[in-house]
Amino acid sequence: MIAVGLLNWNSGQHYDHGGDCPCTQCGKPTPLRSHAGEPVHKVCAEDWNDRNPNAARHEHDGRDLGTQRFHSDPPRKSRRRNR
Ligand SMILES: [Zn+2]
């Protein structure tokens, strides 16, 4: 088992088909975006959460990102499918 909290980013909103942008954490290109639209690898987001368990994320390198902690997709409501 892994101690790091893994994020659930299954939603298509996390994949930007427009192309790669530099990850705000490691600087390498990534097509992934956080909920705030910030380019970041999922593993980098998980790593950041792990290293900053209580921090609110409002800036990075002096730039105000307007973001909070990385978080998982909300549980999907099953409106369309009745079981
Ligand atoms: Zn990264």
Domain boundaries, the chain: 12-56
Q: Which residue has the tokens 């939603």?
A: 11
Cα(1) to centroid(ligand 1), Å: 22
Cα(77) to centroid(ligand 1), Å: 30
Instruction: Report residue 2's pLDDT band, with 50, 70 and 90 as the boundaries.
Output: very low
pLDDT tens-digit map of 38-68 = 899 999 999 988 887 777 665 555 565 554 5
**Whole-number pLDDT of residue 51:** 85
Cα(39) to centroid(ligand 1), Å: 8
Q: How far is CA 11 from CA 4, 14, 17, 58, in A?
A: 20, 6, 13, 23
pLDDT tens-digit map of 62-83 = 565 554 567 777 776 666 655 5
Closest CA to 42 of 76, 75, 4: 4
